[in-house]
Chain A
Amino acid sequence: MIKAAASLPTSVKKKNEFLYFAFKNTKLRVGLGILLFFLVLMFVGPQLTEYEPTDFVGPSGVPPSTDYWFGTTSFGEDVFTQFVYGLPATFMVGIIGGGLATILGMTIGFIAGYRGGVVDEVLNILTNVILTIPALALLLVLSAYVKVRGIFIESLFIGFTTWPWAARAIRAQTFTLRTRDFVDLAKLSGRSSLKIVFTEIAPNMASYLFMTFILMFGGAILTAATLDFLGLGPTQGTSLGLMMNMAVLWSALPLGMWWWFVPPGIGITAIVGGLYIMNVGLDEVFNPKLREM
């Protein structure tokens, strides 16, 4: 194959190369764009509306108009306000829940992948057991008994039940990296296992870890939306899933009040979809073989 002239040190070249491709990559731009749009909306939105989500603002059940951009609910609340105030819940659950799941997955995945042997077997069994028990069923049951819930509790629930997915993926990657020469070298120079994992293996997997986090982020948002929809989300505040719950509960369907349930769904689909597309773009940036000619 063709050798590239090494006029710059390789690491600097690599970083520049990444940025170059990152900016050119359509999928990354589209995904990031969608995400940023909603983030901005989340911050700017409350300024655009003078109401609170549960304020009675006017006639109930009116379709979108210049006064009420997303129309009003059966209770005369402004849907746009609810939407904009519900976005933070979505992002928070995604980050906290997804982040927790990633951290747990990393811990278990690294240990299992690096140590191997009995430790790996045991952790594997643990992972598989939790993987097999349907998360939502467990969450339903747990939520039913914990009567007062906030976003934080919900995120904890989600983080603690969805980590196996990340653990499996990270373990597999760690396995392949562990047998590489630079790890053997580190072992020979007497580095402790923990240090090896953090200074040799993890940086090589940095891109993979980031992409795993993005997937967990998106997954957490979806799970939270479902929980909220079932009425088992936070007992206070508003969220997109909760909006859908209210809509269905208060007959938005038969009454044809589409403006009540369509926007929250679009919001969630767009954010999660944007995350997934961003992920594909990132994969292309980090993995030169995938780049299109």
Chain B
Amino acid sequence: MSLQVVNLRVFYQTLRGDVHALDGATFSIADGEIMGLAGESGCGKTTLGYSLIHLTLPKKFVDGWVKLDGENLPIGDTDRMEAFRFKKVSIIPQYAMSAMNPTRKIGKMTSELLESRKVRFNDILPELKRRLDLVKLPQDVLGMYPIELSGGMKQRMVMVLSTLLNPSLLIADEVTSALDVSTQQAVSEMLVEFRDHEFVKSMIVITHDISILYQIADSILVMYAGKPAEKASTTTIINSPLHPYTRLLISSLPKVGVKYSSQRLSGIPGNPPLLLDPPAGCRFRSRCPAAFAKCSQEPPFVEVKKGHYVACWKERGIYA
């Protein structure tokens, strides 16, 4: 198993108390697998992503453990994580457009970063150039300032940089959110290429846009209110989801060819619960069309079919 996460809980410290942003995530990712991490804003997906590489205040590690390639990942200990960052675990941040120092030439910044991580720049330069070609960036970007690049170019540069040392795990946080649709396509395909060229072993793609995941993810983990709701292969999630939330999520997607006049787009009424003092029982209860008495107890995240996990009392399907 490339990545194993068991009962990971990360809370946010605030003046009014702890916010249960991530409350018990358990899943694993195999080598070469691209797992999508989907859900509404505030469901905990970004918290999960960042916890695996850079857990700083106001986030605090509360419970659980993580193993990467069989080795324990000390995410609660910032100093010990240094050895893993960039080399074993890497991230393409949501703010990739502004992730590079504006007053430093890109090549200089890259070399200083690498040297500070005890990697000789000259050794890795040929590989760096190859990758720039792969993402169709001219090699003279190394001599330019970030401000001279377009948004898409900066994104690609950050993608190259983050994966330069071939990490085992890459976390891609909303990398397509700020782009236009055709660029989204290009960037998501690039992610797959990185995996195919074995620049990264496994990937977590965080997004609220399930259509992207449909294109590139092998499996999808759907989260709701800080807890995992359902995890399965992409085809299963899209075509035959079991969790009511997933079903509503998928059905709320616009389908090509369907006109507004014939079928209205349905959303999910209501709001996710406040995580400062989370409600007892299933957190989706208040918005769930299939809620019943047992939902006042929290359903466990169980494997109902091979590789298919659900956290719902109606795990055999809501029409069972």
Contact = CB atoms under 8 A, between A and B. Distances in A.
Interface of A: 1-5, 291, 293
Range, interface on chain B: 10 to 19
A293 B13 contact: yes
B41 A1 contact: yes
Contact of A293 (B15, B19, B272, B276): B15
B58 A2 contact: no
B57 interface: yes
Contacts of A293: 13-15, 57-58
Nearest to A1: B42
Contacts of A291: 15
Interface in B64-105: none
B150 interface: no
Contacts of A1: 41-42, 46
B15 A4 contact: no
B275 interface: yes
B42 A3 contact: yes
B20 to A, nearest CB: 9
A217 to B, nearest CB: 31
A5 B41 CA distance: 13
19 contacts: A1-B41, A1-B42, A2-B19, A2-B42, A2-B274, A2-B275, A3-B41, A3-B42, A3-B271, A3-B272, A3-B274, A4-B274, A5-B271, A5-B274, A291-B15, A293-B13, A293-B14, A293-B15, A293-B57
Given A2-B19, A2-B274, 16 more contacts: A1-B41, A1-B42, A1-B46, A2-B21, A2-B276, A3-B41, A3-B42, A3-B271, A3-B272, A3-B274, A5-B271, A5-B274, A293-B13, A293-B15, A293-B57, A293-B58
The 9 A-B residue pairs with the shortest CB-CB distance, nearest first, are A3-B42, A5-B274, A2-B19, A2-B42, A2-B275, A293-B58, A293-B13, A1-B42, A2-B21
Secondary structure of the B contact surface, majority rule: loop
Contacts of B276: 2
Contacts of B13: 293
A43 B251 CA distance: 71
B12 interface: yes
A229 to B, nearest CB: 42
Contacts of B57: 293
Interface in B25-66: 41-42, 46, 57-58
Nearest to A4: B274
Nearest to A292: B15
Contacts of B271: 3, 5
Contacts of B58: 293
A3 B275 CA distance: 9
B206 to A, nearest CB: 13
Output the residue of B13, B15, B21, B271 with the most chain A CB within 10 A: B15
Nearest to B13: A293
A10 to B, nearest CB: 14
A261 to B, nearest CB: 45
Nearest to B273: A5
Interface string B269-282: 00110111000000
A293 B14 CA distance: 7
